[in-house]
Structure 1
């Protein structure tokens, strides 16, 4: 990065004259800072420090900077204190560099590290771990080598903490040869230098790049294998999608502690095997291993992804009955779980009961309102959050603009997009741009969407062109769809989306020769369409279906029930929307093809599983098609049950023949 390189060549800033520090009441102020419970309390102490002329006391100011850094969204206060302190010393620099690194202001952390050098202050073993953490986050290997050189010059490489973070940095930026060389050289300082953490860092690095053989080789020659090492290797395998290898290793663990159980639960969830993740969570409880906060968060995340409301409620009951404190992490996970399971009422209840709400807690609540289609509630949350003094970040603005998208409120969405840039100086990401394109596109303002894309300051990616393409299909704009498709295939020639999108547009226009041409091209390039699948939870058990599924034990009953639903729905005015089947086949065959969609199979399964299901909840990995949407509306009226479908875009709450999206999705 040019900005980073320039830091090493700029002249040092001019120094401001200093005055003698005053040390009156120093222990008292430090004690007060440590005991502060809220940002308001800390600011009151800050004011007293200034009134008592203690702002020149470096020990007090160091503690003040550290305390501000632990309060969410108040890192700017720490920066302001530093800038107003005359001649900051080693401890103040260390405190600020750590604060910036811990709050993910990695570029700033490196900048102040350079300023420290130029101020003729030598960094210590307490400086480099946080500088290296920021270097790894920035993925700047050349910068890591520069810092490595400084460590050697200062003779600090033999420090175990510095060595650990240096190896970790090299592993994270992909320079595993450098990491391995340092690891090998550490043997000259004795076995103590090669701590378990150092072994774990290197093993995890090799797992990350898929070098299982090297990772296993290191694992086998470790002098002592602690639980953390087993978990590190299992976690690395899970992150790489090597589930079977991870399970095999897991079975070899003799003493499974809470960390190893949590690693497996999280790993299954990350790989989309949410049923297995939840099964392992309850197996853990049966084994008598008590979960920690992280385990609870991982289990709730699996519930959120699978739409397993009943299981999530069961875990919530476990939390309350086993004395877990509703800390910010668990609170946010509970709000997220209830919102993503379509129970915004329960999400709001947990949110309202939270004693302390940080940015994460507010953002998941706003997201919950957005995906469930409640724009007014999202805006109300947004305004309340600001009134508490918490500044919105890019994630919050993305949620608000998404809420405007689902409500079809283009002007509101554009207003918040501009507000984010101009009032809060937040640079839009590709996700923000994609939502604006979708916002224009769904409203049929295709020319404005295309103009917006062409004026973007960054090159549009696959998602941007995909958003435009979807809008072209919905509004039957073939010419622009062809243009968007060309852009999609230029970016990712083997991605199925571009081909499927284009064949969909041609099929909708009845251009079957063009459909055949596109599908032949797909076949020749070895491109396969992603299958549709759906999750449904019945009596605490999560079941998945794929499109055309005939493998379920009750498959015959499911298909008979689906035929019955379709037949009865016809009497209520339902007509299969066969244009959603994109093949040049007879009408009867099209209707049969529509009947195999995974969400319909999940619905039929729910209806044969008992009359006690008042609300049927389905999670789908793709956008729901128009025909399934129509059938769900009729089914909700016929069965007198609420049906909640969460697709890849949003929630659809079907009740008494209508949908919460008002047919705008």
Structure 2
């Protein structure tokens, strides 16, 4: 256009600047800014806003602020867009102080002004300040509500995200696809199946199309809430599938221990012309690891590199270590780590460490522990893993030494918690919890379960307790694990035959795993427990993992 001696106007330049912003090419942006100055268009309001937006998206906030300060129309009532663009830019780079100053100084605000600042606070983890602003808003639109639902979910406040979504519907605000996807993601994170089912019913009765985004979110929700069969049905109904849709379904089969279905869906995906990526191979390797398919796993690992030219990440290497370790091939796992082209991280050493505990190999465990603590001296994992190993073989002086070292270095262990949904309300339990309003009934029920299980042959596996204390005290400590409290609450709060679904943030211990098997048989209930690694489906005294976990 320029070579043809046709001069761009105020409608041409914003599109050019938008393209520059999309390329994030700051040098090209400055060149075009120079052209704009040469042809005398720098003070046009449309062009000015586009220039500020370009500098904001290139994270040249100083240039954007200079453009703003030099804008003659910034204090006019019609300049809201210019202010909003700059506020959004300050939020993008994390300068919330400046964003707030600009917001407070605006001659006039619109809904976009409020939404930009709320989104900024949410992105920075300032959820309370975001909520305060939201409550102050004189007028809210669907973007305002979606920003809150999404923000809560992304910051780990999943119950608040679902509460906000429910309130939105009560207020008669129709959600958009992003709101729905965020709400379903919150359901998936805490295992809120009932809430997820209600959202699906709302979608069906309000004309929402099962498009790629919503279909994928529903598959993910059902799979992570323990109903992989429903996930598979929704997957079959979703006609628009991309790589993410396939990978979510394969992950669902993998975390439920259904390795044959995971392999089958990988083959189906490839037959549809969809090429697997590194995420899909993570899911496939997970399926192999949880089912003891060592040779298959090693074959897939080689295929990933040789057939698809995908370079393995540390996560892929960690899964191979886990695969070998679970199978008891600890020397091979250690040799594999030493031959890696990447430097092993704490996840890789942690995978080896967990295998050492399962197979009671103290020698390799101590070696892995040293590597863990060299990498991150304050990370609690290394200390917890090592104290677990020593406790398992009764080396109590070493347990105390490790725990003292952990305390002196300021490393804190993550507390164990479990979620359970009853009558569409999510309840959270922590180890030793006595804060629940029905705590007396819960502990009474737990004692009843334990007594009945003992008659059936259950013996508390006290080696899972890390302290050198009397056996009776060890049994009390095991009895207060969060998943057992959640189980007891479910049994006193739901009708017979109802499936119990529990979500735990840590790996389930051997004693709780054993107790769940007995409880499923005695109470004639299916118990679905999701821990940080996988799903365990307990039914008639048997676990779907086949005790290979």
TM-score normalised by structure 2 residue count:
0.91
5 Å-filtered alignment, 1:453-464, equals: 453-464=337-348
2-side partners of 1:239 and 1:616: how far apart? Answer: 35
2-side partners of 1:377 and 1:624: how far apart? Answer: 25
Which of the residues 146, 167, 178 maps onto 1:283?
A: 167
Match of 2:58 in 1: 169
5 Å-filtered alignment, 1:325-364, equals: 325-364=209-248
> Contact between 2:96 and 2:120, CA under 8 Å: does it hold in 1?
no
5 Å-filtered alignment, 1:114-193, equals: 129-130=18-19, 132-133=21-22, 135=24, 146-155=27-36, 158=42, 159=47, 160-170=49-59, 178-189=60-71, 190-191=73-74
Q: 2:380 aligned with 1:496, yes or no?
A: yes
How far does residue 271 in structure 1 lie from its aligned partner after superposition? 2.4
2-side partners of 1:134 and 1:581: how far apart? Answer: 56
Match of 2:428 in 1: 544
> Contact between 1:378 and 1:400, CA under 8 Å: does it hold in 2?
yes
> Contact between 1:278 and 1:302, CA under 8 Å: does it hold in 2?
yes
SS of the equivalent of 2:506 reads coil
SS of the equivalent of 2:89 reads helix
Q: 2:453 aligned with 1:566, yes or no?
A: no
> Contact between 1:495 and 1:527, CA under 8 Å: does it hold in 2?
yes
Q: 2:261 aligned with 1:374, yes or no?
A: no
Q: 2:74 aligned with 1:198, yes or no?
A: no
Match of 1:515 in 2: 399
2-side partners of 1:565 and 1:592: how far apart? Answer: 14
2-side partners of 1:533 and 1:131: how far apart? Answer: 48
2-side partners of 1:186 and 1:230: how far apart? Answer: 19
SS of the equivalent of 2:70 reads helix
SS of the equivalent of 1:195 reads helix
> Contact between 2:56 and 2:86, CA under 8 Å: does it hold in 1?
no
Give the aligned CA root-mean-square deviation in angstroms. 2.1
How far does residue 205 in structure 1 lie from its aligned partner after superposition? 2.6
1-side partners of 2:114 and 2:14: how far apart? Answer: 29
5 Å-filtered alignment, 1:516-665, equals: 516-612=400-496, 614-665=498-549
Q: 2:198 aligned with 1:314, yes or no?
A: yes
Which of the residues 303, 309, 325 maps onto 1:425?
A: 309
How far does residue 132 in structure 1 lie from its aligned partner after superposition? 4.5
Check 1:357–1:563 CA distance in 2 against 1; reply closer, same or farther (3 A cut).
same
> Contact between 1:534 and 1:599, CA under 8 Å: does it hold in 2?
yes
2-side partners of 1:485 and 1:128: how far apart? Answer: 53
SS of the equivalent of 1:654 reads strand
2-side partners of 1:644 and 1:241: how far apart? Answer: 32
TM-score normalised by structure 1 residue count:
0.76
Deviation per residue, 1:193-227 (Å, 9 max, x gap): 96255224323135x3xx54333212212333332
> Contact between 2:464 and 2:511, CA under 8 Å: does it hold in 1?
yes
> Contact between 1:168 and 1:201, CA under 8 Å: does it hold in 2?
no
How far does residue 292 in structure 1 lie from its aligned partner after superposition? 0.8
2-side partners of 1:152 and 1:290: how far apart? Answer: 41
Deviation per residue, 1:34-90 (Å, 9 max, x gap): xxxxxxxxxxxxxxxxxxxxxxxxxxxxxxxxxxxxxxxxxxxxxxxxxxxxxxx99
The higher-RCO structure (CA 8 Å, 6+ apart) is 2
Task: Kindly tell me the number of residue pairs found equivalent between the two proteins.
Answer: 527
SS of the equivalent of 1:537 reads strand
> Contact between 1:274 and 1:303, CA under 8 Å: does it hold in 2?
yes
Check 1:203–1:494 CA distance in 2 against 1; reply closer, same or farther (3 A cut).
same
5 Å-filtered alignment, 1:11-410, equals: 129-130=18-19, 132-133=21-22, 135=24, 146-155=27-36, 158=42, 159=47, 160-170=49-59, 178-189=60-71, 190-191=73-74, 195-206=82-93, 208=94, 211-410=95-294
SS of the equivalent of 2:156 reads coil
1-side partners of 2:62 and 2:134: how far apart? Answer: 26
- Structure 1 residue runs without a partner (length 5+): 1-88, 91-122, 136-143, 171-177
Match of 1:102 in 2: none
How far does residue 487 in structure 1 lie from its aligned partner after superposition? 1.5
Which of the residues 299, 302, 320 maps onto 1:415?
A: 299
> Contact between 1:203 and 1:232, CA under 8 Å: does it hold in 2?
no
2-side partners of 1:307 and 1:357: how far apart? Answer: 24
1-side partners of 2:233 and 2:189: how far apart? Answer: 20
> Contact between 2:357 and 2:388, CA under 8 Å: does it hold in 1?
yes
Deviates more, 1:218-227 or 1:253-262: 218-227
> Contact between 2:52 and 2:67, CA under 8 Å: does it hold in 1?
no
> Contact between 1:235 and 1:267, CA under 8 Å: does it hold in 2?
yes
SS of the equivalent of 1:608 reads helix
Deviation per residue, 1:576-613 (Å, 9 max, x gap): 00000011000000000001111000000001103256
1-side partners of 2:23 and 2:368: how far apart? Answer: 38
Check 1:480–1:150 CA distance in 2 against 1; reply closer, same or farther (3 A cut).
farther
Check 1:351–1:434 CA distance in 2 against 1; reply closer, same or farther (3 A cut).
same
Check 1:374–1:131 CA distance in 2 against 1; reply closer, same or farther (3 A cut).
farther
How far does residue 152 in structure 1 lie from its aligned partner after superposition? 4.5
2-side partners of 1:427 and 1:223: how far apart? Answer: 53
1-side partners of 2:15 and 2:367: how far apart? Answer: 55
How far does residue 187 in structure 1 lie from its aligned partner after superposition? 3.6
Check 1:162–1:499 CA distance in 2 against 1; reply closer, same or farther (3 A cut).
same
2-side partners of 1:162 and 1:458: how far apart? Answer: 43
